[in-house]
Structure 1
Amino acid sequence: MGQKVNPIGFRTGIMLDWKSRWYAPKREFAELLVEDKKIRDFVTKKYKSAGIPSVEIERTRDEVRVVVMAARPGVILGRKGTQVEQLQDELQALIGRRVNIKVEEVGRPELQAHLVAEDIAEQLAKRAAFRRTIKRALEQTMEAGAKGIKVQMAGRLGGAEMARREKQIAGSIPLSTLRAKIDYGFVEAKTPQGHIGIQVWINQGEYQEQSDGVDAQESQAPKKPKRSYKR
């Protein structure tokens, strides 16, 4: 099942939080969903060079809070934060609501699947050899501390007449293990021969279980299991 299911959607609501956090009545839900799509497309297209793996959106009664995760936040912020105010005004004109923007920096871009896929797409657009590009991406991600990575390409690889699919794996990728922190990214590379689909899975380790440890104290744990009596 792990081969056919998006790992992020598979874990959303169980190990991961939603990217859009708001509630709306049924008659307004579709309109707000389209607004979220417009916001994400506008931000990622305008600041493509900033390296944006995700955009989180929260809605209150008064405003729309947009949290932009970026590998290079300085591209969005500009000098003294002047570009953020401009972006805020543009988004308010786009959706007609009050917008509050927050920009957060991504710690390790090499461990973000979407950014790795974008880097591979840029190399392919410059006519780089696809096998060498995949190998370089695997090495960089594993050196950054990943537990495993899988890269899969589909299309007219190397300008071949017939489209095919190739993949390479390094380390461990447990796709069906919910506690495994698997990041997934998909990008299309636009080459002269046609579009090439790039999928990247990165194993970032395991989610840390938050527990206060009260129930696990040795003094409170029973030494012998209770006997069960059958009638």
Structure 2
Amino acid sequence: MGQKVHPIGFRIGVIRDWQSKWYSDKRSTYTELVHEDVKIRRRIEGMRDAGISGVEIDRNANQISVTIRTSRPGIVIGRQGKNVEDLRKELEKLTSKKVRVNIVEINVPELDAKLVARSVADQLERRVAHRRAMKQTAQRTMQRGAKGIRIMVGGRLGGSEMSRKDKEMQGQVPLHTLRADIDYGTAEARTTFGQIGVKCWIYKGEILPERASAAASAEATAEGPAPAIAPESVRGPEREGPAPSAEALAEATGQPRRRAVAPAAQPGGESLGTGARTETEGGVLTEAEAQSGSSVQLSDEREGSPGGAADAAAHEDRAIEKVEAVADESGSEAGQAAGDAVSVETQTSDVAGESTSPEAEALVEEATEAGTSPAGALPPDADAPPSDEARPNIKEDEA
């Protein structure tokens, strides 16, 4: 047999609150207060035409606050508040305490499970077919924004001899999901064949527990939206106004400002071969010196610096020596390449039995003087294999 759990009681303390809000630490007093609540609810729910959905009771000292949720507040209040005043006096006489009555109107009765069940029961009392009554009611509820509804009726449906059950379901009704906002209500239809019970479940969507949602909203309000920039520890303190210039940064940090300078050219149209240079306020850096992290400061023009004219001259001498050393290294490399080319040419000419051509010698001399190794330094036939006439000489030498 299936074990049924009341959907509202299953969610009390999670997404729903109690309908009676009071506390009693004495057993005798607790029993009396529970019976008072039952009498109050029976008296109020006895007004069937008022569309009563629920009654909430709150006790404070010797005063009882009763909140009535209804879809027809005009019937409960009456003309000039006569009905609600009579109800209040009757409840005070019933409980012997001061009673305050509050009326709350239900704006969308199609989404209240108890009112929907009451509507189906009223149609069954008017002898409307139960299938038609359930289907039309479920369609109206879904049109009002519900995500699911389930209606079940049981009894002598249609005047049959045997009682039976029938149900209508649209959408989804997840009864095992605690965060699902499911409303549940029952009603009874009194017909000539007997009583027909009506049950209704309405699924309105998922909601978070009050504690989690309140904590999340409070945290979001306190923290605000997440910043889209790096924290101050990474990017440093924010500065107002335009960005500082390179000169201002150089003065603030005490480091010379650097900028890229094109390599110097020789009179013959060729560069020194030392690559690009970096010029600073204090000196000139070659590519090799910039990569190695060393710098040469030719002059120190900053005010208040400890260096004087002697230091500037010393720095200048050192810079000139380094530049000459770099030029000598590049020239020696070019000369070595030219020497290798001459030796290769000499060996080839000895093997072939031929002398070096005057054009090749002129090219080698120009390359040696310029400090470079042009592509045309070697004769075109230097790498070519020896001729047939030279082959006997090679064999003799090998022998």
- Whether the TM-score (by the shorter chain) exceeds 0.5 is yes
1:31-70 equivalences in 2 (<5 Å): 31-45=32-46, 47-70=47-70
User: 1:3·1:175 contact (CA, 8 Å) conserved in 2?
Assistant: no
> What is the alpha-carbon distance in structure 1 between the residues aligned to residue 94 and residue 165 of structure 2?
39
Of structures 1 and 2, the larger Rg is shown by: 2
> What is the alpha-carbon distance in structure 2 between the residues aligned to residue 75 and residue 86 of structure 1?
13
> What is the alpha-carbon distance in structure 2 between the residues aligned to residue 69 and residue 214 of structure 1?
33
Q: Supply the AA of the counterpart residue of 1:6.
A: H
Aligned to 2:28: 27
2:217 is the counterpart of 1:212: yes
- Which consecutive unaligned segments of at least 5 residues does structure 1 have? 220-231
> What is the alpha-carbon distance in structure 2 between the residues aligned to residue 201 and residue 188 of structure 1?
15
1:138-217 equivalences in 2 (<5 Å): 138-208=138-208, 209-210=213-214, 211-212=216-217, 214=219
- Which consecutive unaligned segments of at least 5 residues does structure 2 have? 228-399
User: How many pairs does the alignment contain?
Assistant: 218
Comparing both structures, which one devotes a greater share of its residues to helix? 2
Comparing both structures, which one devotes a greater share of its residues to strand? 1
What secondary structure does 1:152 align onto?
Answer: strand
| CA shift digits 1:46-101 (9 cap, x unpaired) | x2211111000000112010000000111111223232211100111112111110
> What is the alpha-carbon distance in structure 2 between the residues aligned to residue 194 and residue 30 of structure 1?
34
> What is the alpha-carbon distance in structure 1 between the residues aligned to residue 219 and residue 201 of structure 2?
36
Q: CA 1:160–1:81 in 2, change beyond 3 Å: closer, same or farther?
A: same
Q: Supply the AA of the counterpart residue of 2:29.
A: E
TM-superposed CA distance for 1:218, in Å, is 4.7
TM-score between both structures, scaled by the size of structure 1: 0.89
Q: Supply the AA of the counterpart residue of 1:76.
A: V
Q: Supply the AA of the counterpart residue of 1:144.
A: R
Aligned to 2:103: 103
TM-score between both structures, scaled by the size of structure 2: 0.53
| CA shift digits 1:123-159 (9 cap, x unpaired) | 1011110000000111110011111000011111111
TM-superposed CA distance for 1:14, in Å, is 1.5
Identity of aligned residues (%): 44
> What is the alpha-carbon distance in structure 2 between the residues aligned to residue 97 and residue 202 of structure 1?
37
Q: Supply the AA of the counterpart residue of 1:67.
A: T
Question: Which of structures 1 and 2 has the larger relative contact order (alpha carbons within 8 angstroms, sep 6+)?
Answer: 1
> What is the alpha-carbon distance in structure 2 between the residues aligned to residue 32 and residue 62 of structure 1?
12
| CA shift digits 1:199-223 (9 cap, x unpaired) | 000011122533225278656xxxx
What secondary structure does 1:53 align onto?
Answer: strand
> What is the alpha-carbon distance in structure 2 between the residues aligned to residue 26 and residue 107 of structure 1?
39
After TM superposition, where is structure 1 displaced by more than 4 Å over at least 4 residues in a row?
215-219
What secondary structure does 1:189 align onto?
Answer: strand
